[in-house]
């Protein structure tokens, strides 16, 4: 039996990356690759809903959701990330929990909305994580999930698997994730591209969906639990 412990390795990695992430997260959510996420959520999930931010990191995305009028619970595998989130004065109205996405400490149908941005890739069994998301979400409610696109540099975290090495990043293509979701109790409601610099919406607007996805740094998908 392999001695490789995905859960432990992932927790240790993100504990170590907490300071680096904390220095970058505000910029990503305010002006960078994550700036369009909360507006995308607002198109589909009414203000006042109870939303879980799954893979919340240092909690800046949770803060942006709370600012937008949602009641938020942030959940992350990393103890250091959760402690950092709790220490921020801006997060005083937000609950934070340390937990694994494949084993969430929440009752069935607890939440009326979910957000999971570039977090399912860091689980050993993505379908198990997706099933947990489905379990804690109320029927006919929405999950906004961000998946790394083909052009995203962070996909390199899974590269060494090609050498037979154990890695803790389970990258997948946006269309693979959407197929997985549709086969397991979700309906695709909407999608939105986040492109790298050099690609504009105008350049891609005439392309088919899979070609748009091929150019993305991140693909946002809005899923409905059915």
> Model-level pTM?
0.96
- Please state which architecture CATH assigns to domain 6-225: 3-Layer(aba) Sandwich (3.40)
Tell me whether strands 216-225 and 111-117 are parallel, antiparallel or unpaired: unpaired
Give the model confidence (pLDDT) of 154-199 as tens digits: 999 999 999 999 999 999 999 999 999 999 999 999 999 999 888 9
Specify the DSSP class assigned to residue 32: S
The answer to whether 149 and 175 have CB atoms below 8 angstroms apart is no
Is residue 2 over pLDDT 70? Answer: no
Q: What is the DSSP string of 36-53?
A: THHHHHHTTS-TT-EEEE
Is residue 1 over pLDDT 50? Answer: no
Which residue from 176, 191, 186, 184 is spatially nearest to 224, judged by alpha carbons? Answer: 186
Is residue 91 over pLDDT 60? Answer: yes
Give the model confidence (pLDDT) of 42-66 as tens digits: 999 999 999 999 999 999 999 999 9
Is residue 223 over pLDDT 90? Answer: yes
Is residue 85 over pLDDT 90? Answer: yes
* Encoded tokens for 26: 């505000």
Domain boundaries, given as residue ranges, for the chain: 6-225
> Please, what sign has the CA dihedral across residues 148, 49, 86, 35?
positive
């Amino acid at each position: 039996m392999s001695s490789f412990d995905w859960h432990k390795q992932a927790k240790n990695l993100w504990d170590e990356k907490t300071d680096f992430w904390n220095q970058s997260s505000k910029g990503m959510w305010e002006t960078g690759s994550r700036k369009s996420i909360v507006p995308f959520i607002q198109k589909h999930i009414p203000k006042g809903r109870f939303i879980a931010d799954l893979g919340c990191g240092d909690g800046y995305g949770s803060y942006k959701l709370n600012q937008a009028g949602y009641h938020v619970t942030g959940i992350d595998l990393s103890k250091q990330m959760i402690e950092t989130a709790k220490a921020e004065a801006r997060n005083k109205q937000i609950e934070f929990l340390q937990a694994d996405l494949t084993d969430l400490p929440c009752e069935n149908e607890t939440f009326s909305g979910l957000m999971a941005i570039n977090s399912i890739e860091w689980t050993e069994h993505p379908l198990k994580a997706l099933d947990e998301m489905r379990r804690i979400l109320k029927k006919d409610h929405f999950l906004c999930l961000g998946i790394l696109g083909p052009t995203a540099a962070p996909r390199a975290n899974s590269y060494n698997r090609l050498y037979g090495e154990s890695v803790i990043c389970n990258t997948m293509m946006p269309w693979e994730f959407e197929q997985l979701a549709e086969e397991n109790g979700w309906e695709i409601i909407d999608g939105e591209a986040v492109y790298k610099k050099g690609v504009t919406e105008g350049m891609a607007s005439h392309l088919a969906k899979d070609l748009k996805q091929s150019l993305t740094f991140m693909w946002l998908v809005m899923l409905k639990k059915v």
